[in-house]
Amino acid sequence: MSKVLVTGGGGFLGSHLVARLEAAGHDVFVPRRRDYDLTHFGDTERLYADAEPELVFHLAAEVGGIGANRANPGRYWYANLMMGAHVLELSRVNAVRKTVVVGTVCAYPKFTPVPFKEDDLWNGYPEETNAPYGVAKKAILVGAQAYREQYELDAIFLLPANLYGPRDNFDLETSHVIPALIRKMTDATGEVVLWGDGSPTREFLYVDDAAEGLLLAAERYDGAEPVNLGTGVETSIRQLAELIGELVWDTTMPNGQPRRQLDASRAEQLFGFRAGTPLRDGLEKTIAWYRDHSRQHARA
Active site residues: 133
Comparing 291 with 258, which gets the higher pLDDT?
291
Task: Check if the beta carbon of residue 299 is closer than 8 Å to that of residue 272.
Answer: no
Mean pLDDT along residues 15-37: 97
Given CA atoms 85, 87, 93, 98 in this order, what sign does their dihedral have? Answer: negative
Residue 37 confidence class, pLDDT cut points 50, 70, 90: very high
How far, in Å, CA of 130 to CA of 12, rounded?
Answer: 20
pTM for the structure as a whole:
0.89
What pLDDT does residue 246 have? 63
Asked, for residue 70, whether it belongs to a domain, the answer is yes
Asked, for residue 252, whether it belongs to a domain, the answer is no
**Measured torsion, CA atoms of residues 129, 131, 218, 36, in degrees rounded to the nearest 10:** -90
Mean pLDDT along residues 224-238: 93
Asked, for residue 43, whether it belongs to a domain, the answer is yes
Asked, for residue 215, whether it belongs to a domain, the answer is yes
Asked, for residue 284, whether it belongs to a domain, the answer is no
pLDDT at 245 over 70: no
Question: Can you list the alpha helix ranges (DSSP code H) found in the chain?
Answer: 12-23, 41-51, 66-71, 73-93, 131-151, 177-187, 207-220, 237-244, 265-271, 279-299
How far, in Å, CA of 178 to CA of 163, rounded?
Answer: 9
pLDDT at 189 over 70: no
Mind listing the pLDDT tens digit for each residue in 71-90?
Answer: 999 999 999 999 999 999 99
Asked, for residue 131, whether it belongs to a domain, the answer is yes
Residue 10 confidence class, pLDDT cut points 50, 70, 90: very high
Tell me how many domains the chain contains: 1
How far, in Å, CA of 52 to CA of 90, rounded?
Answer: 11
What pLDDT does residue 173 have? 76
Task: Check if the beta carbon of residue 202 is closer than 8 Å to that of residue 162.
Answer: yes
Residue 19: CATH number of its domain: 3.40.50.720
Asked, for residue 56, whether it belongs to a domain, the answer is yes
What domain range includes position 143? 3-165+203-233+259-277
Compute how many other C-beta atoms are within 10 angstroms of the C-beta atom of residue 281: 11
For the ranges 31-40, 221-230, 278-287, the lowest mean pLDDT is seen at: 278-287
Compute how many other C-beta atoms are within 10 angstroms of the C-beta atom of residue 253: 14
Asked, for residue 110, whether it belongs to a domain, the answer is yes
Residue 233 confidence class, pLDDT cut points 50, 70, 90: very high
